[in-house]
């Protein structure tokens, strides 16, 4: 084979390589590599006793679990130090309760429904006593009423 023929063959091969690369990036760019097995990765049911959401530093920031006392479902949000700051759970009778906690872990605000169908918002004092509660009640005649019961707040409301 002559040098001129070799150079022509090399030029054709190099041109074909560039053209093939161009076609591949033009037509196949953005297609996920695992597209064929994508459906196989989808699970219909995932079962576990606890799910933990971890931050970039490996610290748990949220938990989906069951309470040890009631075996009721429980969702907990944790701050940077790992202290629970919000919980959502069910009571023994199956009624939902949302609690908001201070940085010290004290319950400062709770919202719940009661077995009789009423809803309540409870505010707690620093000593864990109830500072006050606001309840929304529907009477037998169908009318809605709100009731505020003051605890520690009572002294400041009268001034």
Q: Where are the domains of the chain?
A: 1-35, 43-157
Instruction: Domain 43-157: state its class.
Output: alpha beta
* pLDDT at 136 (0 to 100): 72
* pLDDT at 126 (0 to 100): 67
Distance, CA of 58 to CA of 52 (rounded, Å) = 10
Distance, CA of 155 to CA of 131 (rounded, Å) = 11
Provide CB contacts within 8 A for 87, sequence distance 6+. Answer: 74, 75, 76, 77, 97, 98, 99, 101
For the record, the structure tokens of 140 come out as 């037998």
- 110-158 confidence digits (pLDDT tens): 888 877 777 788 887 766 666 667 777 777 788 877 777 766 444 333 3
- 38-79 confidence digits (pLDDT tens): 556 677 888 888 999 999 999 999 999 988 877 889 999 999
CB 64, CB 50: distance < 8 Å = yes
- Give the number of other CB atoms < 10 A from CB of residue 132: 17
Distance, CA of 109 to CA of 120 (rounded, Å) = 11
């Amino acid at each position: 084979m002559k040098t001129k023929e070799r150079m022509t063959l090399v030029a054709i091969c190099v041109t074909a390589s560039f053209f093939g690369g161009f076609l591949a990036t033009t037509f196949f760019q953005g297609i996920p590599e695992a597209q064929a097995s994508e459906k196989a990765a989808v699970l219909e049911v995932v079962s576990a006793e606890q799910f933990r959401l971890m931050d970039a530093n490996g610290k748990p920031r949220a938990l989906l679990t069951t309470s040890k006392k009631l075996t009721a479902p429980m969702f907990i949000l944790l701050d940077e130090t790992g202290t629970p700051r919000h919980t959502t759970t069910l009571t023994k009778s199956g009624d939902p309760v949302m609690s908001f906690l201070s940085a010290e872990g004290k319950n400062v605000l709770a919202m719940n429904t009661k077995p009789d169908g009423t809803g309540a918002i409870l505010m707690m004092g620093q000593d864990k006593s109830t500072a006050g509660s606001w309840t929304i009640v529907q009477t037998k005649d169908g009318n809605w009423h709100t009731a505020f019961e003051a605890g520690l707040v009572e002294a400041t409301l009268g001034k």
